[in-house]
A and B are shown apart, each in its own frame.
Chain A
């Protein structure tokens, strides 16, 4: 199975900050990398697919980059509604494994 490792596991930041979350795959997954946002008690929401494509309706302050094994999610200017947990997920091979999550908290 492909292992997905996110860093950091948690992050404190302020409104307006630029934030970057990293995801590393245990083997090359080309650009088959997705990012989700999850708020407590809610289902995950797709933000980015294919490493860098913005899902319809998602604000442009979210962006993704990377290919192969190393990927990043960047939020250019944090808004109050962005404080949540973020997961990367590979869709290259089943099982479609997720990273362990990055909890983004208010500083």
Chain B
């Protein structure tokens, strides 16, 4: 059974940093691209970042480019998101998502339960 479990969310002051992690199990982690998608309270879904299975290529939304860094440790089946220079508008639930086996890159067939990041003084 595929499982994605996020951790690392919490309350942080504007300008601060936070590192999110996503522990994956139930599939060959290194074979799939992974993404982070966020959802501000009461709002829609926003794609944030993606990384290829090998970790060799990364992609970012303009809204987080230069502030967030996605990475993965295929030996530990873990996806990470380092978030620096956090802003109030980064407040959201952050989901990790697995690339769809059938749908290919950019579509997501499994999601974690999400971890809430609140940026506030």
Pick the contact of A92: B37, B100, B106 (CB < 8 A).
B106
Question: In chain B between 24 and 61, which residues have their CB closer than 8 angstroms to a CB of chain A?
Answer: 35, 37, 44-47, 50, 59, 61
Which residue on A lies nearest to B108, using beta carbons? A46
Do the beta carbons of B106 and A94 come within 8 Å of each other? yes
Number of A residues contacting the other chain (C-beta, 8 Å)? Answer: 27
Q: Establish whether residues B107 and A34, one from each chain, have CB atoms under 8 Å apart when the complex forms.
A: yes
In the complex, are the beta carbons of A89 and B107 less than 8 A apart?
A: yes
What is the size category of the interface that chain B forms with chain A? 20 to 34
* A35 nearest CB neighbor, chain B only: B107
Is B9 an interface residue, CB under 8 A from the partner?
no
Interface of B is mostly: strand
Q: A35 to chain B: closest CB distance in Å?
A: 10
Does the CB pair B104–A91 fall under 8 Å?
yes
The secondary structure that dominates the A interface is loop
Question: Are A94 and B111 touching (Cβ within 8 A)?
Answer: no
- In Å, the complex CA distance between A46 and B50 comes to 17
Closest to B96 in A: A43
Additional 8 contacts, C-beta under 8 A, given A46-B108, A92-B106, A94-B50:
A38-B45, A43-B95, A50-B107, A87-B44, A89-B107, A98-B44, A98-B45, A101-B44
Question: Which B residues contact A (CB, under 8 angstroms)?
Answer: 35, 37, 44-47, 50, 59, 61-62, 95, 100, 102-109, 111-114
Can you spell out 11 A-B residue pairs with CB atoms less than 8 angstroms apart? A34-B103, A34-B107, A38-B45, A55-B103, A89-B45, A89-B47, A91-B105, A91-B106, A95-B47, A96-B50, A101-B45
